[in-house]
Amino acid sequence: MANSAPGLILAAPASGSGKTVITLALIRALVRRGRRVATAKIGPDYIDPAYHAAAGGRACLNLDGWAMRPALLDGLIAQFSRDADIVIAEGVMGLFDGAGLAGEAGGTGGVLGAWGEGSTADAAAATGWPVLLVVDAGGQAASAAAVVAGFARHRVGVTVAGALFNRIGGPRHAAMIAAAMA
């Protein structure tokens, strides 16, 4: 994205994976290290942006790729990140979930927004920002690694740069996941 700070998107396979808690921890850690952090929430969410603002000490940008036009999105990102070292953006729902598959029951009926259907993947493709996938590893090990591998290959133009596993049961569980990821 031209004229903007580098960014990182925190996404997950599904809601309830711990994206918000991990995002807030990352924002606070960067701010405590003296980084100028711009924050963003993808999708039409107005609760999480308040948490981001509290953690980062500045207003949070809401990026709704389904409802906003491309020029507005580009301008907002450039404006909000102008004096930032990095943009930390939290995704909405699962990485590939948006307003619904165009033309399918419950979908948008073929109506697409600036960033397709408003998914976090659409935002990652439009901005070029890499994705850190937050995975709830409770009750799984090698399967969690397979989820990451599948997400990393699912869509051209979306870079899953890494994974953070949440709800690790202990050192043995962590070692099993690490071995499966190798």
The CATH number that applies at residue 100 is: 3.40.50.300
In a domain, 69, yes or no: yes
pLDDT reading at 23 higher than 60: yes
- Under the banding of pLDDT at 50, 70 and 90, the label for residue 108 is very low
Number of H helices, E strands in the chain: 6, 6
In a domain, 101, yes or no: yes
In a domain, 1, yes or no: no
Give me the domain span that covers residue 73: 7-181
In a domain, 2, yes or no: no
- Under the banding of pLDDT at 50, 70 and 90, the label for residue 101 is low
Rg (CA), the chain: 16
CA dist., res. 79 & res. 53, Å (int): 16
In a domain, 98, yes or no: yes
In a domain, 128, yes or no: yes
Identify whether the C-beta of residue 88 lies closer than 8 Å to the C-beta of residue 30.
yes
- Under the banding of pLDDT at 50, 70 and 90, the label for residue 159 is very high
Identify whether the C-beta of residue 115 lies closer than 8 Å to the C-beta of residue 126.
yes
Against a cut of 0.85, is the pTM above it?
A: yes
pLDDT reading at 111 higher than 60: no
CA dist., res. 166 & res. 161, Å (int): 17
pLDDT per position as a tens digit, 24-47: 999 999 999 999 999 999 998 889
Identify whether the C-beta of residue 99 lies closer than 8 Å to the C-beta of residue 117.
yes
In a domain, 78, yes or no: yes
Domain count across the chain: 1
Query: Given this model, what pLDDT does residue 100 score?
Result: 64
pLDDT reading at 103 higher than 80: no
Higher pLDDT, 107 or 11: 11
Give me the phi and psi of 21, to 5 degrees please: -60, -45
Identify whether the C-beta of residue 91 lies closer than 8 Å to the C-beta of residue 9.
yes
